[in-house]
Structures are given as structure tokens and as C-alpha cells.
Amino acid sequence: MWRFIGVRLLQAIPVILVVITVTFFLVRIAPGGPFDSEKAVPREVKAALEAQYKLNLPLFQQYAAYLDDLAHGDLGPSFKYPGRSVNELIAAGFPVTAELGLYALLVALGIGGLAGVCASLKPNTAQDYIPMSLAMIGICMPSFLLGPLLVLLFGIYLDWLPVSGWGDIPGDKILPSITLGAGYAAYIARLGRAGMLEVLSQDYIRTARAKGLPRWQVVFKHSLRGGLIPVVAFLGPAFAGLLAGSFVVETIFQIPGLGRFYVQAAFNRDYTMILGTTVFLSVLIVLFNLLSDILAAWMNPRLRAQFGGH
Amino acid sequence: MNARAIDDIARAEQGTSLWKDAWLRLRKNHLAVFGLVILALFVIIALLTPWIAPYSYQAQDLELGASGPSAAHWLGTDIFGRDLMTQIMYGGRISLAVGFVATAVALLIGVTWGAIAGYVGGRTDAVMMRLVDILYALPFMIFIVLLTVVFGRNMLLLFLAIGAVEWLTMARIMRGQVQSLRQQEFVEAAISLGLSPATLIRRHLVPNALGPIIVYTTLTIPNVMLLEAFLSFLGLGIQPPQTSWGLLISYGAETMEEYPWLLIFPGVALTLTLFSLNFLGDGLRDALDVRGAKD
């Protein structure tokens, strides 16, 4: 197990380096410097600004300096919000995005897991078809359509829930969390159903049933762990998707999270902000992938045995 | 066994070729047929839009403004009095074009990459597939947003950028196919007859791997269309005066309180297309008996 974790950790390092390098050079080859748009900045001021942001150095020295700063956890200053660092903006936005992502994940796991397990217990009956058809709708209905439709229905016509904000009015976290989580609930339902069906057809489940164990015990004690391995393996990619999805959801519901800052930075061409956020999110996603791989491996006794027990 | 019987067998075998068999199975899948019909309809409408659209793309009626569905405007009009049905038809051209072109880019890169890796094997294969693994771990939504910043909001680059990130699974599937095909005798025969690798890949390996490629292509198109709509919704994709379903949904969401049809109709068009493609892809996978192309 430790060897497995070690191998995966070593594999993550080049990925993170590639992300940092590609992002850095992509942002640097973007047309136009960040100070070109300022109206008639005197040449000395521009030179001073460029010196301050180290833009006057050769590209590779800039890269080395950036890596050095990064190693110390410093993502640099923001170009568009003078006096604020990328670190501060991330510190302000990320907790909000993380909270939204967490609730969305709970929605996805709760609804999706339940639907998938229910469907797998009585395949090819109404108990299977109804949740699976809903799941298909969930997969095909993008969040930027689902969000406004939910707002229209629950926020405006029925007037049950607030239509925007985050933590200002009670209940304003419900619609964003559902909007973000719905698509993943659908995927998890499908994965959970397929995984459970496979486990339920195994010999050891038949043995458990033949021994006369109660049905709930067979489902919860014997099947769930194996059946949900595909779901756990999906959590890494789902996390990446949730972060990207938060761009849209935060825009729709006017939530001051990192996703909205990122899209705003993309509009404003705030290069350091884009660079810093991309690096931050990428590292986070790589680590999360790693974590979900390890968890899935830990849940899978065959893989555990392959790497020599605990 | 006489010659006649052999002839009969040959004819019978021809009668249930892989493709005919697959078509028969696909036809029994009602959802897949529904998807195929809707898709064909939308593609035909998109191709004929300049001739069959009820109004011209630029036509405005500022006095009318936003109005609900009526006899003159079946799907209503937006705040400038533009006919929504016309907008959706022209938007569909772009959305579908992005879907097909970007998928074609992904197909070309993925199939070539996977075929070479699977064919050459050894260290080349290891390096090429390791690269695919690394790219897989990257957060692509975030990178696409980054690319729209770097390259500006150019539609051609949007095609390329989306295509360039969607080829990875295709490469993996193609490599697996080629690796298993390489062991077959007819490939050995072709090599010993002195066929060049390029011809071998083009003439024998790609055609024999066509089933999984078709299935995966059908499932890639909705992903790509979703990505385009996502970017356009954020304002980073298709730019006015052009329009796409994503952009129409974005405008619709802004004014949905007063004019809900502006959100609902483009949303129905996009969702219906994505539904159709997913059903068709699932149906094709079952009909062609392809495993592991999705999930």
C-alpha cells in the first residue's frame, strides 16, 4: 500500500511541473503586455512597473524567479487589483468555492448513490428505470441551463428560495449546491448502479444470501464497499469538474468565490491572477485525483494484495 | 459439401455482415432511433437555414420588442424584436459545427496518436501513452478558459483548443485496438507482403477498429458541444454578432424573469440534441458490441 502511494506521489510531481511550466509560458506568449491597455502611461512609469513585476528580465529568468516564489508559496501580485496579491484573492475566494463544492459533492453522493443502489437492487423494473431516466436528464442538462431554470421555478414563480448570494439570507446555499451537484449525482447514479450490479452477481454474495443473511446486511455489509469503488475512483475527476462547474454556478448566483474571480481575471486579462489560480487549482486537482485513486485502491482488496498488504 | 451449399453459406454470411447486423440491432433500440431521427432533422435544418429560416438573421422589429410565441413568431421574439426561431436555427449551425469540427480534430489526433503508439510499441509506445496519462491529469476546463485568454476569442482556435483536449480517450481506445489487431494473422501477412506501415495502418488497422471509433465519436460530440456552450455562456466562446445555443441561453438567463421563453426554447434545442447524441451513442455501443468506450 505504501509503495502504491509512493509511486503515485512520484507520478504526480512531473504532472504538477508540466502544469506550472505550460501555464507560465502560455500566459507569457499571450498577445499584449498587461500594462499596454493603460491610457498613455509615461515610459518611465511603465518601465518601473515592469521592473516591479520583473517583466524586464529575460523569459527564463522570469520563469526561474516565478518557480522560486512558488516554492515559497508566493503566487505574486495581481496586475489588475494593485496592492493585492494573488494569494489574498485565493484566500478570499477559495473557502467559498470549497464550501460550495463540498455541498454539491454531498448532494451528488447522497442523491446519486441512493438512486444507483436502489436501481441496482431491482434491475429492469420501475425502480431502475425511473431514477436512471432522471440520471440521463441530469447528464444532458448543463448546469448553466439547470441553474436558471431552478431559479425561475423555486426562486421566482414559487418564491420559496433566494435567487442569489451566499450566506446572506438563510437558504441561499440550497439552489447553487443542487445546480452544481445535479450532473454529478447523475454520473454517480450510473456508476453506482453498474458497480453494484457487478458485485451483486458475484459468488460471495450468493453465498451470503444462501447462508440466510438478512437482505440489508448483504447490501450494506457485503456489497456496498465493492460496488462503490468505481464511484470513489470517479471522485477525483468529479472534483476537477466541480471546480470548473463553479465558474458557471458562481456567475449565475453571484457568489464571490474563486470561480468567479477566475472568469473575471480571464475577462480582464489579469495574467498573474490567471497563472496563480491555474497553478493553484491544478495542483489541488492532481492531489485530489491522487487521493481518490489511493482511496479506491484501499477499498479494493485485490489491489491491496498486489502491493503487499498494509 | 457441394459448390451450391458453399455459395449459400457465403451468401448467408454476407447477409449478416457486421454492419448490417449492427443496423438491425440499432433499429430495435427505440431511443437510439429517436436520437438518430432528431439529430438528422437538426442537421438538415442547420444546413438549410439560410433558405428556410422564417426571418433574416439581422431582421429586427424594435416596435414589437420581446413578445411571446405567436402565429407570426412561433417561438416568440427577443427584446430587439428578433425572431427567436431564426436565432435558434442560426445558433444551431454554429453549435453543431463546433461539435462536428472539434470532434473531427480530436478524432484525427487521437486515432493517429493511438495507432502509431499501438503499432510501433516498445519504448515509443510507453513514452507516447505516458504523455497521454499526464495530459489526462490536467484540469482541462480551466485550461480551455486559459487558452481563450491567450489566443483571443477566435472561433477557429476554439475548435482547435477543444479538439486538442478531447483526443486523449480516443488515443487510448485506438491503441488498444491496434495492439490486439497486430497479433492477427492477416496483419502479419500484410507486413510480410511488404506493406509500408502507413498503408498498413490506413488500409487494415483503422478500418478494423472502426466500431469503437464510431461509438466514441458519437459520445465525444455532445461533450464538445457542452464545452462550447459552457464557454459561450461565460462570454468566452462565440462572440456577437454570431450566435450559438450557449450564447442564446446566456441571454435568455438574463431576462428570464420577464421573458422565460428566451431561456426555455434554446435550452430545449441544446438538451434535445445532447440527449439524441447520448442515446445514439449508447445504442451504437450496444449494437456494435463495443465495451469500455464510456464509463
Contacts of B137 (CB under 8 A, 6+ apart): A12, A15, A285, A286, A289
Q: Which of A3-17, A89-103, A170-184 has the lowest mean pLDDT?
A: A3-17
Mutate to test the interface with A, among B34, B149, B168 (most CBs of A within 10 A): B149
Helices (H), chain A: 2-29, 43-52, 59-71, 86-107, 113-121, 126-140, 143-150, 174-200, 203-210, 215-217, 224-227, 229-252, 258-268, 271-299, 301-306
SS (H, E, C) B142-181: HHHHHHHHHCCCCHHHHHHHHHHHCCHHHHHHHHHHHHHH
For residue A259, name the pLDDT band (cuts at 50, 70, 90): confident
Identify the top-confidence range among A193-207, A214-228, A294-308.
Answer: A193-207
Chain-chain contact of A140 with B271 (C-beta, under 8 angstroms)? yes
Chain-chain contact of B146 with A252 (C-beta, under 8 angstroms)? no
Please tell me whether residue A184 adopts helix, strand or coil conformation.
Answer: helix
Q: Å from A170 to nearest chain B CA?
A: 22
Chain-chain contact of A244 with B141 (C-beta, under 8 angstroms)? yes
Q: Å from A214 to nearest chain B CA?
A: 31
Q: Which three cell numbers stand for residue B22?
A: 449492427
Residues of chain B with pLDDT under 70: 1-18, 137-139, 152-153, 289-295
CA B61 – CA B70 distance, rounded (Å): 15
pLDDT, tens digit, 9 for 90 and up, residues B12-62: 555 556 677 778 888 888 888 888 999 999 999 989 888 887 878 877 777
What is the model's pTM?
0.79
Backbone angles phi, psi at B78, to 5 degrees: -90, -175
pLDDT, tens digit, 9 for 90 and up, residues B170-194: 888 888 888 888 888 888 888 888 8
Please count the CA atoms within 13 angstroms of the CA of B13 that sit on its side-chain side.
6
What is the model's pLDDT at position B139? 67
Output the average pLDDT for chain A.
79
What is the model's pLDDT at position B37? 93
Chain B partners of A240 at a C-beta cutoff of 8 Å? 139, 141
What is the model's pLDDT at position A306? 60
Asked whether A41 and A82 are in contact (CB, 8 A), the reply is no
Q: Which bin fits A159, alpha (ψ -120 to 50), beta or left (φ > 0)?
A: left
- Alpha-carbon B10 to chain mean position: 36
What is the model's pLDDT at position B186? 85
Output the average pLDDT for chain B.
81
What is the model's pLDDT at position B43? 92
For residue A307, name the pLDDT band (cuts at 50, 70, 90): low
Tell me the C-alpha to C-alpha distance, in Å, between residue B74 and each of A111, B53, B77, B83, B272. Answer: 38, 12, 9, 8, 18
CA A109 – CA A112 distance, rounded (Å): 5
